[in-house]
Amino acid sequence: MSAVGSILTSLEREEQYELSEKRMRQIAQKKAAT
């Protein structure tokens, strides 16, 4: 049970990281555009 939970939490962390990375890229693009 704990192993499955750790896998799920790690996947959630990866999703959070990808979302934050996309946000950073969008902000960088906006800064570059202006």
Chain segment 1-34, per-residue pLDDT in tens:
578 889 889 999 999 999 999 999 999 999 898 7
User: Which range marks the domain in which residue 4 is found?
Assistant: 1-34
Q: Please report the pLDDT score of residue 10 as a whole number.
A: 92
H-assigned helices in the chain: 2-33
What are the angstrom distances between the C-alpha of 4 and each of 7, 19, 27?
5, 23, 35
Q: Specify the amino acid at residue 23.
A: R
Q: Specify the amino acid at residue 1.
A: M
Task: Catalogue the long-range contacts made by 5-9 (C-beta closer than 8 Å, 24 or more residues apart).
Answer: none
* Number of structural domains found in the chain: 1
Q: Please report the pLDDT score of residue 1 as a whole number.
A: 56
SS3 34: coil
SS3 15: helix
